[in-house]
A = this chain, B = another copy of it.
Amino acid sequence: MLLSLKTYICSNLKHTTLKMNHKQDTPLANHHISVDCVIVGFDGEQLKVLLLKRTFKEGDTETQDMKLPGDLIYQDENLDDAANRVLTEQAGIKRMSTVQFKAYGSRNRTDKERDIKWLENTANIKVERIVTIAYIALVKIPANASSFKVDGNELCWEPVVSLPDLAFDHNRIVGEALIHIRQMVTNDPIYMFHLLPHKFTALQLRTLFERIYGKTFDVRNFQKKLKQMKYVTPLEEYEKNVAHRAARFYRLDKVEYNRLRKLGLE
């Protein structure tokens, strides 16, 4: 039995007290709060999300599945600080800006048997319900980083179009994060460049547009679009050691971007 007697009695006393105090005969919610981070990257081909491997027992056999990096928050911790702690502790990412996008608090989001067991094993507490505040972080995927370890935890980049069955409601959270990222990029295109390397080709930029908006762009039309983006500067640098015709590199001109943005952009 994982629960101490103290916790058990405490949790029952609490409900009784609340029930008696409140005008309606229903206990108030007094639950755990967590943050979950949807860390999205782009490898030049696909949008990928960073997932943490989770080990749990199913009967006598040990199984693995995946979850978003995330954690319960501490008593004195602000939500944004908790998201940044998770990025650092669980994904090894420091000083990354995060965007809070939605709270998930459905009663049944912690109902799956394997999630209940895992919570009891790792947090060592009986969690009845967890309201999670979901964050987005857009990052550049380092070369050869399809999987790696941080503090003993295994992490891997998985394409967002073919995710396995994740823990809790994390498939839903990733799906809604992608819709939110599309809105973020539409409102403020700078977010797209968080996903690209410092120097990028027109093909990379077009592919990224296609992945974010979920549709294909005609090459000629995209070249026109690219010329209209006055804040994307063509460089006198070209790809090296490639089998096809070497493509030109471009980069974001942040000063010009901010100037145009102040004028109201396009």
Which A positions have Cβ atoms within 8 angstroms of B?
Answer: 4, 6-7, 9-10, 13-18, 21-22, 24, 26-33, 72-79, 100, 102-107, 123-125, 128-129, 131, 133, 183, 186-187
Contacts and interface: CB of A to CB of B under 8 A. Distances in A.
Contacts of A128: 75
B32 A32 contact: no
A105 B49 CA distance: 26
12 contacts: A4-B17, A10-B17, A22-B123, A24-B74, A26-B75, A27-B74, A31-B33, A73-B105, A75-B128, A100-B103, A131-B131, A131-B133
Contacts of A106: 78-79
Nearest to A28: B72
Contacts of A33: 29-31, 33, 105, 131
A131 B16 CA distance: 22
A73 B24 CA distance: 12
A74 to B, nearest CB: 5
A27 B75 contact: yes
B125 A21 contact: yes
A123 B76 CA distance: 22
Contacts of A75: 15, 26-29, 128-129
Contacts of A183: 183, 187
Contacts of A107: 76-78
B29 A77 contact: yes
Contacts of A131: 33, 79, 131, 133
